[in-house]
Structure formats: C-alpha cells, structure tokens
Structure 1
C-alpha cells in the first residue's frame, strides 16, 4: 500500500487549499512556461496525496515548485530510481541553460495569460502570494512587535480587494475578502501594540465586515480577540469581556479547542480586571482544560500561531497577579519564559516585565529591578512597542510606591532613554 504524502498534505492544510484549487494553481503555472494552461484535475492531486504517484511529470513538478516555492523533494516527492533522477536532472539543467529559470522561482505566481474572451483570471496563486505576505508580517510582529506594520498591512488589504474585483471564482473571491480582513486586522493590531488606540476601532469594524463577506469565522474570531485587547487597554472591562464572549461564540471556537482556549483565557483576563476573581479563575481553568484537547501538530493560521502553553502561562500570570496571587503569577511567568519559542522576542520582553511586576508585588524589590533589566537587553537595538512601554510604566509607578526613593530614582534614570525611545 502506498504511503500518504504528508509533506504535500501539510502544505495544502497550512494554505487552506483543496485538491481542486491546487490543480487550478498548477494549471495556471504550466501556462506561464508552456503557453497554455495544464489539464490536470483533482484526481491527479489525489494520486499525489495518496502516494500512488510519487514523482509527477516534469512540467507538473516545475509548476508545483512555482506554486509552492519549494523543491519537489521538499513536497514529499522522490524519483523511483537513481537513473531516472539523473536523466531528469540533466534535462532540467538543460532547460535552465536555455533561459527558463523562472520556473524554479518561488511565488508570486502570475495569472494565466489573457485571452480574447476577457481579462486575466485571478487565481489561487494570487491568494498564496498574499498569504505569504501576511505570514511575513506575522513574523515581523513576533520578532519586533506589531508597531510600524499598519501602512504595509493596509496596502496589502487594498491589493486583495482590488484583485477580488477582477475575474475570479467565488471561492477565490471569498479568500481574498478573508485576506483583506486579516490585513486590516493586522493594521489595527499595529496601532494596539504601539499604544496608539485612536483609529484601531475603525480598522477592526472594517475587518469584521470583510470577514463577514468572506464567511470566514477564523477571521471573525481574530477581530473579536483584538477588540477584547483594545477594550482592555482602554480599561473598558465590560466591553473586553463581551468581545471575548463574542470570540467564544464564533464557529471556529466552537469546533477548535485551540481557538476556544484562547477565547476562554481572554475572557479570564477581562474578568480579572473587572474584579470578578471567582469567574476569572473558573474561566482560566476552562482555558487550560480546552488547550489540553488541542492537537499541537495541526496547521494553524499565522495570527494564532503565538497561542499555546507559553501564551496561556503568560495570561495566567496576568490573571493571578490581578486577583492578588503574585507568587503564583511569578511561577506562571517563569513557565511562560521556559516554554516560549525563541522567535517571539517581543512576547519574551513583555512576560519578563510582568515577571518583574509580580516580584515587586511580593516586596522583592532588588530582584524585581534586576529582572526588569532583561526587558531592555531582550529588545536591544529595537524600539520598545507601546504596550511594553506601558507595562514598564506600570512597573515604574509601582516601584515609586513601594521602594525607597533612591532605588526608584536610580531605576528611572538608568532606563529613561531606552524606555522613552519611540
């Protein structure tokens, strides 16, 4: 029995692509270097996925590589024999020498050539190209913070909306609406992370409308999650709880334990801020139980890639500190730092700042000041996001209230430049 091609299946799952859509994208890619579209269908893709066809025809492989930006071997394909591999490699080198190297390049994938019947068709290749751009913004956010991404995100949202006005299938149109919603939500997040709250509501309302046009509950939950965070920063805790509950009511949260867990945790934070300790801790327990049911190996959208044990420990630390359990908050912060992937530099700095606060709330002033030093070393060379500066502002105010004046003044003088740098 043939072994299923998990590499190709995983790539399709990450890009939310059906067999028919991959076939369309490959056919469009074939048109780029062959002059007319290919004729493969879903059945061919199913044979690739099942492992029945372990080495597609040469032009199909070239088209797959163009669509995905990956070599065929990275997609789980392998030639049957060394001899066949050598022959095909010589043919490929000859083609490259003839000047057709474009077939080996990664996305973007051009649309099929225009015909007399109408304008160029917008296809799956355009969707993939925009999704790669969205993933790139998510990577920048993880490393440096979301501040500064607003302009780029809005430009990509406009591009997605412009494309959906062209000739495209209904499925592609919906995906472009969903991408426009995601880019617009990213623009809102850029303002939230920068602490520039004016204008974020406008972006989020538009993102929610676009998600509705896309009929995409994943994007709807993304927006409600950000609305909860925005309301919390504005200290409108009833609205923060209401937005978190709206996130829990989305279809994606009802069927995905991962999304449900995030919604429960966000609700817990809002309730803790509102002073409802019992309900906050109960909701936190729901978040933990639900996350245990999530499959960490399943592909996920870029916007929720950050959520897992580390982020839940971080939110637990916030809740525990707010309800008056600083020792438990400190322990949760340490767990968060231990579990956090290295790529999440901004999150590491935020967790460290909250760890310092939890230590300060226990009266461990020297330890708290030493911990806070790591915030600046973690973000060295990068301006501090607004949310991080706000957390450090909370630390400074608490330090002034709890520590001898000399210690508070020394801390403020030492970090005045880093803390206030825009």
Structure 2
C-alpha cells in the first residue's frame, strides 16, 4: 500500500463487475423472517463497492441512483423482517444510510437539487439510527455541496462546521483533514479568505498525521492526497487566487488514481478555468479539450456539464476571436451535439 493513500479494507471491483450489479429487487425476495448476519451486510457492502466503482470510472446516472435506493430498501427490508443481533441491525441502518447518501451524491452530481433534498433528509434519519459518526460526517459534506449548488452559502458553512465538529473528526486525522478542506471551501464561498486559508493549512497538517493503513469505511475511499489537493484548490479558486489554485490542480491530477476517470475530467476542467482566469488562453483551451467526452471520457453529467459551460462562456467573453477559442468552440459544440444535447453555439 502506498504511503498517504487512504484505502478501505475491501478492494473495489472491475468496471465489468460494476456494470453487472446484483438486482436489489430480486434479492429482496429472500428478506423473509430468517436470521440475518454479518455475511448479509458484507454482501451489501460489496454491492456498494461496485456502485462506487461505476461512479469513479463512468460517473453517475439516474439508473445508478435508483439502484442505490433499491439497495437501501433491501437493507431496511432485512432490518424489518430478519432476526438479527443489535450489531447487525445497526450495520443495516448504516448501510441503508450509505446507499441513500450515494443516491444523494448522484442527484447532486446531476444537479437535481429537489431529489437530492429528499435523499438527504432520509439519509440523515437513517444515519442517526445507525449511531455511526462516520456516515454523519459524510452526509454533512454532501449537505454542504447541495447548499452551494442552490446558492445557500451560509447553510453550506453551517453544514461544513457540523461535519468538522463530528465525533469522527475528533477520532481520526484523516476525517479531520477532509472536513477542514470542505470547510475551507465553504468559508471561501462567503469571502472569508483568512479563515479559508487557515483551514487549508489545517487540512494539510491533519493529513500528514493520519495513518493510511487504518481501515476506514468504504465511502471514505475517495479521499487521498489527490482529493485533498483538489478541495484546497477549489477553495483558493473561490477566493480568486487562480495561480495558487492552478498549482493545487496540477498536483491533484498528478496524484489521481488511474481509475478515477470522472475526477480527472472534473479537475482538468477546473485547471483549465484557473489557467483561463490568468489570461493563458491557449494553454487553457488545450487543458479544457482534454476534459471533453471526445477525449475518451464519458459524456459529462450535470455538474461537469455546467463546469464546461462556464469555461466556454468565460472563454468567449475574454478571447472569442482567438484561434484557440475558435478551435475549442468547434470541438465543444461538436461534443454537445454528439451527446444529444442542445448546442450552446458560438458566443
């Protein structure tokens, strides 16, 4: 295991496995009044790993969102109808919360805030029943992301602060690092640069103190050096410190695991934006082109699509008549048309 790369005890499956997930509807037929043990929870955890792998490699979809909710219902069906120990029952509540949070993440990524709000409310209730501080930390992070997406920046700050105050953060420096990096982003959104930079430093110091070999819950498997650099870069970009943000995004992409294709697409676009906002139009267009679906990526989802639209809009506002912008626009419009979406056209 590489130093400073946080992983979970269970390895993620291959892409082929991720596209052949077990059917929660058919599995629920066996959720009768039988004894339920940890082996049943481990099968659910394997299903979660497969969904996570699909997200990492291809991005989310409404089908995966529905699948995650199906497994949450399955976990609750086992809870309701099975005979189980208290430990197993708490784990089932935890898994129901994790799957519902996964559906929440897919809704956020698709920029579907109404669906996301419903998933968040249910996931928070299930997390409380599970008694797990880890999943509560995860949910506060996604609550903050949802609040940012709906321009409720004060709610995002409150959710980030709740995450940082969680028991999980007190117990594990890795979780403290993640919570501090997210809090930095929320503080940057409201213009509190001093606090945001301080939390970026807090996140970096906590990360260095964390033990990478400590087993953590599967949902936290995404958090590693690359994600820390990326979250820090997002905070600095929100403050308008684009040169520093660019450096962070370069480090993100250099540390990013090969299977994290969706994250590479997202952070490549963030890097392109930081370069464009410094006036480096040609380099920004080269970087941005690498994030298009035609460069080997899956068609972008709602969040990535909006980010590409932002890059396109800012490029044409500042450098419309340059050759680099014209070449970008041709590729960008072609990619959108190929994706079956309305073309943004030349601006």
TM-score, normalising length from structure 1? 0.70
**C-alpha contact 1:181 1:219 (8 A) present in aligned 2:** yes
- Indicate whether 1:231 and 2:158 are aligned: no
Counterpart in the other structure of 1:134: 48
Find the residue that maps to 1:305 and give its secondary structure. helix
Counterparts of 1:268-347 in structure 2, within 5 Å, are 268-347=184-263
Residue 405 of structure 1 and its aligned partner are, at CA, apart by 3.5
Counterpart in the other structure of 2:306: 390
Residue 190 of structure 1 and its aligned partner are, at CA, apart by 0.7
Counterpart in the other structure of 1:160: 75
RMSD: 2.2
Structure 2 unmatched runs, 5+: 1-7, 11-26, 342-347
Structure 1 CA distance for aligned equivalents of residues 218 and 151 of structure 2: 28
**C-alpha contact 1:254 1:260 (8 A) present in aligned 2:** yes
**C-alpha contact 1:217 1:251 (8 A) present in aligned 2:** yes
* Cα offsets for 1:259-280 (capped at 9, x unmatched): 1111111111111111111111
- Indicate whether 1:415 and 2:332 are aligned: yes
Residue 411 of structure 1 and its aligned partner are, at CA, apart by 2.4
- Indicate whether 1:146 and 2:60 are aligned: yes
Counterpart in the other structure of 2:158: 242
Q: Which has the higher contact order (CA 8 A, sep 6+)?
A: 2
Structure 1 unmatched runs, 5+: 1-12, 16-109
> Greater CA radius of gyration, 1 or 2?
1
Residue 318 of structure 1 and its aligned partner are, at CA, apart by 1.4
Find the residue that maps to 1:290 and give its secondary structure. helix
Counterpart in the other structure of 2:266: 350
- Indicate whether 1:178 and 2:94 are aligned: yes
* Cα offsets for 1:109-144 (capped at 9, x unmatched): x9xx9xxxx942111111000010011111111111
**Larger deviation, residues 290-299 vs 122-131:** 290-299
User: May I ask how many residue pairs the two structures share in their alignment?
Assistant: 312
Structure 1 CA distance for aligned equivalents of residues 185 and 310 of structure 2: 17
**C-alpha contact 1:345 1:378 (8 A) present in aligned 2:** no
Find the residue that maps to 1:121 and give its secondary structure. coil
Find the residue that maps to 2:291 and give its secondary structure. helix
**C-alpha contact 1:144 1:346 (8 A) present in aligned 2:** yes
Structure 1 CA distance for aligned equivalents of residues 110 and 60 of structure 2: 7
> Which of structure 1's runs of 4+ aligned residues deviate more than 6 A?
none
Counterpart in the other structure of 2:23: none
